[in-house]
Amino acid sequence: MPELPPSVKGFSTTFFTMFKHVNTEQYPEEKDKYPPKPRFHGRHQLNRHPDGLEKCVGCELCAWACPADAIFVEGADNEEGDRHSPGERYGIVYQINYLRCILCGLCIEACPTRALTMTNEYELADDSRESLIYEKEDLLAPLLPGMAPAPHSMVAGTTEKDYYEGKITGATAEQIAEVAAREADEAVAQDDAAEVKEGGA
């Protein structure tokens, strides 16, 4: 059989490709049609225990494991009346720089308390450097029903080990009352500060 000229061969490839299934995914118009796979590593999340205390103990292992130097952690001691996690320490400052992060997941492997995990959220683009440095407030997991926002005491009569063994199921009435009292005190202090400001104006 005679050889077809190269140009005919080339155009035939183009012609037959016109009838093939198109794999282009339209983003962002059709993004809901193509959700990320469940194991996709996206934005990080700092998790909480079921009573609302934070799982992060400020150990910095995630920061040391990061090949892109994208994490900054500063730990602090939990104090009586200002407890954020069940252990001795908690992360007082926690930042992830998404200009540097390559979403490799090494940090979550290094975390000894499963405080740090990654969500499926992938829309991390922005137009300023500042907005891509996520602070602890941006990364903390939302409060679920049954949780009380830290700081507050541990469940009475429990140890740190009980938390890691999954024996805590939710905030107790004492913890909820403690948080309510703290929030009421903060509201009064804010009102007083506003009055002082108005008086000085």
**Footprint on this chain of ligand SF4 (rule: CB under 6 A):** 56-62, 65-66, 68, 70-71, 73, 91, 96, 101-107, 110-111, 113, 115-116
Give the residue from 87, 84, 86, 104 showing the smallest Cα distance to 96. 104
Residue 25: exposed, middle, or buried by beta-carbon count in 10 A (0-12, 13-18, 19+)?
exposed
Between residues 61 and 133, which has the closer beta carbon with respect to ligand SF4?
61
Q: How far is CA 68 from the centre of its chain?
A: 18
Closest separation in Å from C-beta 139 to ligand SF4: 9
Cα dihedral sign, 41-160-76-136: positive
Closest separation in Å from C-beta 89 to ligand SF4: 9
Between residues 75 and 176, which has the closer beta carbon with respect to ligand SF4?
75
Between residues 53 and 71, which has the closer beta carbon with respect to ligand SF4?
71
Residue 141: exposed, middle, or buried by beta-carbon count in 10 A (0-12, 13-18, 19+)?
middle
Closest separation in Å from C-beta 187 to ligand SF4: 30
Between residues 105 and 149, which has the closer beta carbon with respect to ligand SF4?
105
The DSSP code sequence of 51-67 is: TS-B------HHHHH-T
Q: Residue 95 pairs with which residues in a beta bridge?
A: 72
Between residues 136 and 152, which has the closer beta carbon with respect to ligand SF4?
136
Closest separation in Å from C-beta 87 to ligand SF4: 9
Closest separation in Å from C-beta 128 to ligand SF4: 19
Closest separation in Å from C-beta 59 to ligand SF4: 4
Give the residue from 98, 75, 101, 99 showing the smallest Cα distance to 88. 75
Between residues 111 and 171, which has the closer beta carbon with respect to ligand SF4?
111
**Cα gap 33→36, rounded to integer Å:** 10
